[in-house]
Amino acid sequence: MAMRTDLHSKLADTLMLGPLLEMVSQEWGSFEFEDHWQQGEFHHDVVLKLPHDQWTGSFLVVSTNCNGGVKEVISFTSKPDRYALWHFRCPDNPEFSGNIPNIKGKARTAHWYDPCQLLEPDARSEYLPSQRTRQRGGGWVKKTRDS
């Protein structure tokens, strides 16, 4: 089945999560917020469940920076596993594994950069070393009482 990359590009070209969600609502009539995965301080994956169609599949993963700037839009036939998606992005990282579902289409924006760089031990952080903890696979998050 052919990929409808023009639609993926149109979504990505909104450059911000809010306008992208408005466009998704206009294009499909509805969507369900399925999940939100943060990896480090500067990468978010927003997972949307769409009414299935032949071009996009059923799940849209919108990757954003910490300010809601859209970096990438990928559609899948089924919901990807968080760490399988990161294994796809960073196959050399031994803390990630798994296989992603079929990709129906994708587009990247000017906000995109290699997300594996966010996972390096010396990755940039706005948290003081005493106030942060490392996530599985890399990236920093604010320490909590439990971490």
The C-alpha angle 16, 78, 97, rounded to 5 degrees, equals 90
Inform me whether the pLDDT recorded for 55 exceeds 80: no
Query: What is the C-alpha separation between 49 and 37, in angstroms, rounded?
Result: 15
**pLDDT digit string (tens) for 73-97?**
999 999 999 999 999 999 999 999 9
Inform me whether the pLDDT recorded for 146 exceeds 90: no
Name the token pair of 24: 């998704």
CA dihedral 83, 84, 86, 91 (to 10 degrees): 120
Inform me whether the pLDDT recorded for 104 exceeds 60: yes
Look-up of token digits 């106030």: 131
Q: What percent of the chain has pLDDT over 90?
A: 76
Residue type at 130 in one-letter notation: S
**DSSP codes, 88-135:** HH-TT-TT----PPPEEEEEE-TT---GGGGGSTT---SS-GGGEEEP
**pLDDT digit string (tens) for 6-26?**
888 899 999 999 999 999 999
Instruction: Tell me how many helices (H) and strands (E) the chain has.
Output: 3, 7
- Least confident window among 51-55, 135-139, 141-145: 51-55
Query: What is the C-alpha separation between 40 and 44, in angstroms, rounded?
Result: 8
Report residue 1's pLDDT band, with 50, 70 and 90 as the boundaries. Answer: very low
